[in-house]
Amino acid sequence: MRLDYSARSLWSVDRMIEDIRRESAPYAAVELVLRGFGAYAGEVIVRQTGGEWWASGGDHWVRTPDGRLWDPIDEARRCYTQDGSLRLLCRDATAGARRD
């Protein structure tokens, strides 16, 4: 998988998470991988929007310049349960927060 910090690369990450889920891997076995995918998606959002990482109590979010907070690590977990998409999270985060 080619990860180049582009929004387009998140299509591949979403598909990879879907493939892992289809293999019925137990959550405990993939938890760190999902965290890594979420962190990657967060960094894509930071680079696309000029946002920054925020951390508190062991949790990590991305804050976009418009003041919104995004939780890409939780979104990766939601992808694993078929209730999320890192690609769509990035689309939503960048829609109102693009750099000038």
Q: Indicate the pTM of the whole model.
A: 0.92
* CA atoms of 47 and 70, how far apart (whole Å): 14
Confidence band, pLDDT 50/70/90 cuts, at residue 1: confident
Q: Are 62 and 70 in contact (CB under 8 A)?
A: yes
Quick check: is 85 in a domain? yes
Give the distance from CA 56 to its chain's centroid: 18
Q: How many domains does the chain have?
A: 1
Quick check: is 3 in a domain? no
Report which DSSP code applies to 96: T
Report which DSSP code applies to 3: -
Quick check: is 15 in a domain? yes
Q: pLDDT tens across 36-58, in order?
A: 999 999 999 999 999 999 999 98
Q: Is 94 left (phi over 0), alpha (psi -120 to 50) or beta?
A: alpha
